[in-house]
Amino acid sequence: MNKKSQQSPSFVMAGDEAIEQVDEGITRQFLGYGPELMAVKVWFEEGAIGYQHDHPHTQVSYVESGEFEATIDGETKVLRAGDSFYVAPNKSHGAVCKKAGVLIDIFSPHREDFLEVEQS
């Protein structure tokens, strides 16, 4: 396993950036990142689950489209296009996609684990 660069190019063209399979029904594309910040576009198929997890990063997620049932630290809300949620470091969170859609996830600092690349 090796790592991608610690910083994206200044301009990230959607057609040039890879879309990665994350889990069943979930794909992602990096929008830009550096050591202190990372933005990621995440597509969810209806019924896909972003399982409960936690990490030391601060996170803000913006619902670009679709409908999501998001849970943060035991509290659940239904979010639709234009809504967003904030996750403090080390808080348990996850989401279930109720209607296919897209989240824009912002992390500070960047997610080192997202930059790991599988060697084939």
Does the 2-8+18-46+55-117 domain belong in CATH 2.40.30.10?
no
Instruction: Check if the beta carbon of residue 25 is closer than 8 Å to that of residue 44.
Output: yes
Amino acid at 67: E
Which tokens belong to 69?
């049932």
pLDDT in tens, 40-95: 999 999 999 999 999 999 999 999 999 999 999 999 999 999 999 999 999 999 99
pLDDT of residue 26: 98
pLDDT in tens, 88-108: 999 999 999 999 999 999 999
Alpha-carbon torsion (10, 14, 18, 23), positive or negative: positive
- What are the residue boundaries of the structural domains of the chain, listed by start? 2-8+18-46+55-117
